[in-house]
A and B are shown apart, each in its own frame.
Chain A
Amino acid sequence: MTQTPLKFYVPEPSGRPGQATDFSYLRLQPAGAARKPPIDITPYDTRDLAIGLIRVLDEHDEAQGPWAEDLPDDDLLRRGLRAMVKTRIFDARMVIAQRQKKTSFYMQCLGEEAIAIGQSLALREGDMHFPSYRQQGLLIAQDYPLFDMMCQIFSNDQDPLKGRQLPVLYSVPEKGFFTLSGNLGTQMPQAVGWAMASAIKGDTRIACGWIGDGATAESDYQTALLFAHVYRAPVILNVINNQWAISTFQSVAGGEGITLAARGIGSNVASLRVDGNDFLAVHAVSRWAAERARNNHGATLIEWVSYRAGPHSTSDDPSKYRPADDWSRFPLGDPIARLKNYMLKRDIWSEQEHQELQKACEAEVVAAQKKAEAHGTLATGRTSSVATMFEDVYKDMPEHLRRQRQELGV
């Protein structure tokens, strides 16, 4: 019997530097094509939605289909647009600040603004987010002061985290924003645990976990799906598929030939795949999932299809592993442009208002930065007192830490 030699297979993106990505792998569906199921749907019956794509806004900037029923009011759309514009300007300024050595590190969410902001505006006060490091929109949508975010980024004497954490790893209890960890995926089963606690106490609040496509490969992600299913936890499990985990294409995370949302079906979690650059779809689907959770129908997994338009971080150069013009070819476009065009078409927004918004956000970001820099940056070395380094390891400082603090002479 002849035996053909085994072949080892390693997935590759279709587009490398100097090439053009073939985005046909995205399996797009037209706006309005995906159905809107009842909130008590059996998870197994969402399988078409887990491999399809829920979209509301079409290429003519019009809202289509069942997910366009009961759209948010015009004020909420303006709030969403404002938060997205502000987030993008904030990101741009902080990248420059990193280049000026005012901070060691920064991470943008360029191109992904609609997801965190759309969901944030679909939830209630008291709901709890367990974010990853690319959901600054959750804070900006809730009007958390840019000053406080910048002080954390600059590790200055007003840094709420006292210079202990890497920039962008915020922690904001008053906005339902869980403390960010550098360890990927850990927050997903924690979100499920928070949701379990809410159910144990007979509360009405729900939790949201956030993770990227790459980190779904972490074991904690599977664990989160398992616990969410087993205990029917009131949780929304958000997977942002921005196609890239640093330099690694989403196919290496297990996205080839199948969607990431499809994995939820095997765990008996209702699973939806959604256009992440479509603010209207983000808001409608988030509201659906929140209602499902709040009515004790259990968890929802949402794969948000988007594109990481910027570098992974300020330490990354994407031109070394993907085409430089990739975002311009990405079929789902720019979330800000799409919402703006929809609002222009509906005549609830104008070019002039948009320019004024841009200017106002620029001014707000600049003013906050000026105020934050007055309290120091990494470059000035004006930080919290070194003695605080030994605090909060435990609730009360144990003897050995007291001695070590004395040893340092602070």
Chain B
Amino acid sequence: MAQEKTKTRPMTMIQALRSAMDVMLERDDNIVVFGEDVGYFGGVFRCTEGLQAKYGQSRVFDAPISESGIVAAAIGMGAYGLRPVVEIQFADYFYPAADQIFSEAARLRYRSAGGYTAPLTIRMPCGGGIFGGQTHSQSPEALFTHVTGLRTVMPSNPYDAKGLLISSIENDDPVIFLEPKRLYNGPFDGHHDQPVVPWSKHPLGNVPEGYYTVPLDSASLYREGRDLTVLTYGTMVYVAEVAAREAGIEADILDLRSLWPLDMDAILNSVRKTGRCVVLHEATRTSGFGAELCALVQEHCFYHLEAPVERITGWDTPYPHSHEWAYFPGPKRVAEAFKRVFREA
């Protein structure tokens, strides 16, 4: 891991993401940051606060409310030779940019035989658990993992957020960088009735101030256990942790970090060791990314499996407002699934 010897300090995920952009704006003149409310105001989530004042309007600027325009302009800039880091205010609002992301950014290198590339990073706050209702809670990752040519990444803590964002910005492929907004200020295990713990109380909230990277295509074994493999990412990492504890199960909790392309070796090593696998995500179930994970596990680990692979996900409904906690796959539902995997064995 490339790393400068710098001090660490406690950062929230917001501060860590901002620090990643700050570091990269400083290191590379070709990096530009733009999106809705990203410039002067510093972003509706404060992720770009102070960057315009530090680097000027031609490096960090506000954009019209036009997702397709933001991504299209970034593609044109990438063709010129810049490295745009753009923001879509909520993942729920990427749909107007779908044509530019799917048909253009993802395909430029292929269709031009390497003549043109799209070295962009598209940041999108995603996920629920914040009473965001239908259009501030979605987890559209499966729509990206299905598209050839894209990389889809999702951090679960400040340390990874900064290191993965730097890697994404430096990567020459287009990266969809999904940020679970529920984790912006602190880890969240689904116990919504309990006070939120800030990142300053969590070891992964301690972040180096300078440049470092967390490699793409590499999962992290968040907790080690021998009974069960949990394949998950984002907010569900913490739900898995607390659910395993409450169910009294020693689980390997694999935080995938890079959803696609992914770290297949880490998955195989864990499932072949434990013989049981549960896939967890907030996104809706049918044709969700979990389906791909289940298929890969049964394809590559069939003779090691001692129980059917379980999927715990959001329901196949739009994300509701008042029924937030009946929708969100919280620790209770997850713990039940963990136990079920053993009952059926």
Interface residues of A (CB under 8 A from B): 128, 130, 160-162, 164-165, 169, 171-173, 178-179, 181-183, 186, 188-201, 207, 219-220, 223-224, 226-227, 230, 392-395, 398-400
Contact = CB atoms under 8 A, between A and B. Distances in A.
B167 interface: no
Nearest to A170: B112
A399 B264 CA distance: 9
B224 interface: no
Given A226-B66, A227-B64, A194 B76 contact: yes
Contacts of B264: 399-400
Contact of B111 (A164, A193, A199, A220): A164
B324 interface: no
Contacts of B104: 181, 183, 186, 190
Contacts of A199: 58
Contact of B69 (A169, A182, A189, A195): A189
A408 to B, nearest CB: 15
Contact of B64 (A128, A169, A230): A230
Contacts of A230: 64
A164 B112 CA distance: 9
Contacts of A172: 115
Interface stretch (B79-87, B276-284, B306-314): B79-87
Nearest to A186: B104
Contact of A173 (B96, B116, B261): B116
A400 B109 CA distance: 18
Interface in B290-336: none
Nearest to B57: A200
Contacts of A227: 64, 66, 69, 72-73
Interface in B156-186: 171-173
Given A178-B79, A198-B80, A398-B217, 10 more contacts: A130-B76, A173-B116, A182-B103, A196-B73, A200-B58, A200-B59, A392-B114, A393-B149, A395-B109, A399-B264
A124 to B, nearest CB: 16
B259 interface: no
Given A190-B72, A194-B76, A197-B77, A183 B110 contact: no
Query: Across chains A and B, which 10 residue pairs bring their CB atoms closest together, nearest first?
Result: A193-B76, A193-B73, A189-B72, A197-B80, A179-B112, A194-B76, A190-B76, A171-B112, A223-B69, A398-B261
B135 interface: no
Contacts of B96: 219
B149 A220 contact: no
Contacts of B116: 171, 173, 178-179
B117 A161 contact: no
Contacts of A392: 109-110, 113-114
A197 B113 contact: no
Contacts of B32: 197, 200
B112 A161 contact: yes
11 contacts: A130-B76, A161-B111, A171-B115, A173-B115, A179-B112, A190-B79, A194-B80, A197-B80, A220-B68, A220-B72, A400-B264
A56 B148 CA distance: 49
B214 interface: no
A189 B76 contact: yes
Given A183-B99, A183-B103, A183-B104, A197 B76 contact: yes
Interface of B: 32, 58-59, 64, 66, 68-69, 72-77, 79-82, 96, 99-100, 103-104, 107-117, 148-149, 151, 171-173, 217, 261, 264
B58 to A, nearest CB: 5
A226 B72 CA distance: 12
A160 B76 contact: no
Contact of A165 (B73, B103, B111, B172): B111
B73 A179 contact: no
A331 B127 CA distance: 59
Contacts of B59: 200
B74 A399 contact: no
B82 A186 contact: no
Contacts of B68: 189, 219-220, 223
Contacts of A183: 99, 103-104
Nearest to B149: A393
Contact of A394 (B58, B69, B109, B111): B109
A365 B112 CA distance: 24
A161 B109 CA distance: 10
Contacts of B113: 160-162, 164, 171, 392
A244 B59 CA distance: 41
Contacts of A173: 112, 115-116
B68, B77, B99, B113, most chain A CB atoms within 10 A: B113
Contacts of A161: 111-113
B111 A169 contact: yes
Contact of B77 (A164, A188, A193, A219): A193
A194 B115 contact: no
Contact of A197 (B66, B69, B82, B151): B82
Given A178-B116, A223-B69, A223-B72, A393 B99 contact: no
Most buried by A among B69, B76, B104: B76
A109 B19 CA distance: 51
B27 to A, nearest CB: 17
A188 B66 CA distance: 14
Nearest to B173: A394
A393 B76 contact: no
B13 to A, nearest CB: 27
Nearest to A400: B261
A128 to B, nearest CB: 8
B173 A395 contact: yes
B217 A179 contact: no
A186 B148 CA distance: 19
Given A171-B116, A183-B104, A227-B73, A395 B79 contact: no
